[in-house]
Every structure is written in structure tokens, then in C-alpha cells.
Chains A and B, each alone.
Chain A
Amino acid sequence: DTAVSQTPKYLVTQMGNDKSIKCEQNLGHDTMYWYKQDSKKFLKIMFSYNNKELIINETVPNRFSPKSPDKAHLNLHINSLELGDSAVYFCASSLVPTGPFYEQYFGPGTRLTVT
């Protein structure tokens, strides 16, 4: 199947731990994103990578570090997890976003629960 995939789907961990979420797309896209959906269901962009280069870095704590080993993968590593990090994290991808023609495709999400 051609798609954006994320692992794991669910992640339950304790405060202070370090965890990673993986994302892969086989759509041949150049650009990948991480979004956070909070408890009120509001979706907000965190990072964007284009050909392994960081393009967007919103106001996100330094504990969050995206890593792109190649343009088909964008992983999210989180250090020293806090209760407020509990959310659903979505990965997305698109072609190079030049002008009005690009469309973002989303993965199924990873529900992170920090206890």
C-alpha cells in the first residue's frame, strides 16, 4: 500500500523517559511534517523537513528532536517526557510545496500517553 505509516500506534510511558516515534512514506514525497493534536483536538504543526533539511521549527521545546535519515523517513525523538506531552502525534508528507498545488497526506497518528 502506498501511504504514510507511523509506529507505534500507541505509546504509554512514564515521565522522564526518552521515546521515539517513527514515520515512513512511500509516496515519493520530498517534504515531511510532524503535527501535534492536543486534548482539545487542535492540530498544530511542529516541524517540517524538505529533503532531510529542517524547514519549519515551530515553538517546540528542545526536548523534541526530529531526525530524517533519508527523505522517506522522519522520526520524532522526545527526551525527558512530561505529562503535557500526552497527545496524538501525526506525521504527514507532500511534494515540494511550491505554490498552490501540493497536498499533504497524513499518517494514522501515534497516541502518546505520559503517566
Chain B
Amino acid sequence: KQEVTQIPAALSVPEGENLVLNCSFTDSAIYNLQWFRQDPGKGLTSLLLIQSSQREQTSGRLNASLDKSSGRSTLYIAASQPGDSATYLCAVSGGGNKLTFGTGTQLKVEL
């Protein structure tokens, strides 16, 4: 059974800092990994999708890496801004169309 864990559970940083969010999963037989952002009371916004054959994906200030063999992914956020404050979720897709979500990292970027 796939289990996804995210560390840290919560993170508070000053504006401008670069930061790394971690995601680990127990079963390396995945099709892809997605990073989502969830704002309070809102739905999920997909940030990046990394296919199992890829090592990283970049979008603006975000960079996600994937090491499938070790069951790890990181989300790197450069030059953090208060608007980046949200909960970040990673989710892995295994056989079929089932996404298994991580426990989330609640990020607060302070002025």
C-alpha cells in the first residue's frame, strides 16, 4: 500500500528565502508525481507534474525534482513571497488512475 509523507508539516520563513519541501513515498512503482497548492477554504491548484521518467520540472520560481528509486521528491521555491503562503501537497499516481496524497506542508512566508 502506497504511503506518502511530507516533511516538514509546517514551515515559517521570512520573505525572500529559498526553501525546500520534501515528499517521500514507499512504493517506487509510480506513473507520475504531482505537486499541488491549497489555499485556505479553496480547492487544489496543480503546480507541477513530473512523469516517472523525468528527473525535474520547472515553472517560474518553482522547481520539483524526482528520485523514483529512492522514493523522494523535493519542491524548491526560490525567493519566497507572502503570496506563496499556502499548504503544499504532493501526490503520486500508481497503477490506474489513483492519486495517493501526502500529509501536506503548511507554509507561511512572513514580511
Interface residues of A (CB under 8 A from B): 31, 33, 41-45, 48, 50, 55-56, 90, 92, 94, 97, 99-109, 111
Q: How many A-B residue pairs have CB under 8 A?
A: 64
Majority SS at the chain A contact face? strand
- For B98, what are the chain A residues with a Cβ–Cβ distance below 8 Å? 45, 48, 56
- For B96, what are the chain A residues with a Cβ–Cβ distance below 8 Å? 48, 55-56, 97
The interface size of chain B toward A, counting residues with CB under 8 Å, comes to 26
Task: Identify which of B44, B45, B51 contacts A101 (C-beta below 8 A).
Answer: B51
Interface residue? B13 (CB, 8 A): no
Interface residue? B31 (CB, 8 A): yes
Interface centre among B87, B99, B103 (most CB of A within 10 A): B99
Q: Given that A31-B97, A41-B104, A42-B103 are contacting pairs, would A100 and B31 also be in contact in the complex, using a CB cutoff of 8 Å?
A: yes
